[in-house]
Amino acid sequence: MTPELKVSRAMTRLVLSHPFYGSLAMGSDVHRDDSISGGTACTNGSWIKWCGPFIDEQTEPKVIGLIAHEVLHIALKHHLRAGDRNLDKWNIACDAAINNILSDSGFELPDGGINMPWFKNMSAERIYELLDDDVTPQAWGAFIVPDASPEEMKQQEITIDQRVIMAGNLAKSRGTLPGWAEEMIRDMQTPEVNFEDALRRFFAGDQPDDYSMRRPNRKLYHLSGIIAPTTDRKGIGNIVIHNDVSASVTGNDLTYFVGAMNMLSEEMHPSSVTVISCDTRVTSVVRYEAGEAITMLNAKGRGGTCVKPVFDYIEDNSLEVDHFISLTDLEIGDFPRNPPDYPVLWVSCRGGSAPFGQVMRFKPRRDK
């Protein structure tokens, strides 16, 4: 059997037996390129390239697994999520996440790939943080970050989301949509909300205490040249922020979050803001008094995600809490048995659910 026939048969089998993967494969430009680096297979989010001699060495089930592997790189947008990470290490983290999904789904994969079952059910971002910097690169299958402008990458993200949703609808109609994909598609279809407005509602509801012309509304003046009053609040008490230092939150997202918190602190006059950083234990506690600017949150951490130590710290140290915000990935297994007596907002960078409090998907709206 020629390599071309193997790949063609593999894609047909995916369509028949795994329509979610098959639909995404059929929507990609899949072609042979024996000159690709590493001599195996790769994708840039638009095309999937494979090397003939490598395919020739594989059994048909392993070619099916290889195509599914490359398809998941596209569906999970690994090339768009790389940021400023080390690409070799990021590739390994993404392969570990993908191969655990595929192994659990019964796919057979080529020999020599990344096999890290201890990272099962973890995001690529979490795995990246846990990997050593000198980890050995994978032997096959990779993604390539395209040389594209931010606008082009944003358009590709939209296109991929559309393809994933269409593939999900097809698989769901046949009763074969994987559970993890159903959750991802549900998140894609969640409408974006204005992050600052959502925080305002959490802190003080939709109605302000009063209006004041002492400081005109700077945003409205900047955008429209209209002089309008700002909301005048008496204060929102003591805020505690849980900073999940093992969460899959990018440095840019943390910067945006800190900027939003500082803006709202200036507007809503909290008595204090206490930032508690924690992975499996509380690693640092910083308190900002009224009027003090919140500095950059720590984005580095090791270990899993635990939140109970934060609530224990609050109780053990008798902290005054009027509002609690957790910036996390919600991959948490130790929620307190009983909810606290103060309002809780989970600001999640990856969706998910919590047994108490409100959950808001962190999709900050940026101008650039």
Residues 161 and 180 reside in one and the same domain: yes
Residues 16 and 163 reside in one and the same domain: yes
Residues 153 and 221 reside in one and the same domain: no
Residues 304-324 have a mean pLDDT of 90
With bands split at pLDDT 50, 70 and 90, how would you rate the model's confidence at 220? low
Q: What is the H or E stretch that residue 12 is in?
A: helix 3-17
Indicate whether 368 belongs to any domain. Answer: no
Indicate whether 215 belongs to any domain. Answer: yes
Residues 31 and 167 reside in one and the same domain: yes
Residues 268 and 355 reside in one and the same domain: yes
- pLDDT value at position 207? 43
> Which residue, of 188, 217, 250, is where some domain finishes?
188
Residues 162 and 203 reside in one and the same domain: no
- pLDDT value at position 300? 58
Residue 261's domain is classified under what CATH number? 3.40.50
With bands split at pLDDT 50, 70 and 90, how would you rate the model's confidence at 305? confident
d(CA 213, CA 141): 60
- Does 91 have pLDDT greater than 60? yes
Range of the domain at 89: 3-188
- pLDDT value at position 221? 60
Indicate whether 367 belongs to any domain. Answer: no
- Does 213 have pLDDT greater than 80? no
> Which residue, of 126, 156, 188, is where some domain finishes?
188
Measured at the CA of 58, the angle between CA 57 and CA 61, to 5 degrees, comes to 165
CB within 8 Å of 23: residues ≥ 6 apart: 15, 163, 166, 167, 170, 171
Residues 126 and 242 reside in one and the same domain: no
The segment with the largest mean pLDDT, out of 35-39, 101-105, 128-132, is 101-105
With bands split at pLDDT 50, 70 and 90, how would you rate the model's confidence at 365? very low
- Does 52 have pLDDT greater than 80? yes
Residues 297 and 349 reside in one and the same domain: yes
With bands split at pLDDT 50, 70 and 90, how would you rate the model's confidence at 33? very high
The segment with the largest mean pLDDT, out of 27-31, 154-158, 217-221, is 27-31
With bands split at pLDDT 50, 70 and 90, how would you rate the model's confidence at 366? very low
Give 284-348 as a 3 state SS string. Answer: EEEEEECCCCCCCCCCCCCCCCCCHHHHHHHHHCCCCCCEEEEEECCCCCCCCCCCCCCCEEEEE
Q: What would the pLDDT profile of 229-258 be if each residue is shown by its tens digit?
A: 665 555 688 999 998 876 566 666 677 778
Residues 7 and 105 reside in one and the same domain: yes
- pLDDT value at position 223? 67
Residues 180-193 have a mean pLDDT of 75
Is residue 210 classed as helix, strand or coil in its secondary structure?
strand
Residues 347 and 232 reside in one and the same domain: yes
Indicate whether 366 belongs to any domain. Answer: no
With bands split at pLDDT 50, 70 and 90, how would you rate the model's confidence at 214? low
Residues 180 and 323 reside in one and the same domain: no
- pLDDT value at position 154? 83
d(CA 148, CA 81): 14
Indicate whether 304 belongs to any domain. Answer: yes
> Which residue, of 188, 222, 237, is where some domain finishes?
188
With bands split at pLDDT 50, 70 and 90, how would you rate the model's confidence at 42? very high
**129: alpha, beta or left? (left if phi > 0; alpha if psi -120 to 50):** alpha
d(CA 261, CA 133): 33
Residues 311-340 have a mean pLDDT of 89
pTM over 0.85: no
Percent of the chain with pLDDT over 70: 82
d(CA 127, CA 118): 10
Residues 100 and 215 reside in one and the same domain: no
Please report how many Cα atoms fall inside a 13 Å half-sphere around the Cα of residue 38, on the Cβ side.
18
- Does 222 have pLDDT greater than 90? no
| Residues making up the chain, counted from first to last | 368
- Does 99 have pLDDT greater than 60? yes
The rounded mean pLDDT for the chain is 83
Residues 64-69 have a mean pLDDT of 96
| Burial zone of 89 (CB within 10 Å; 0-12 exposed, 13-18 middle, 19+ buried) | middle
Is residue 277 classed as helix, strand or coil in its secondary structure?
strand
- pLDDT value at position 134? 81
- Does 224 have pLDDT greater than 80? no
Domain count, the chain: 2
Structural tokens at position 334: 């130790």
d(CA 291, CA 328): 25
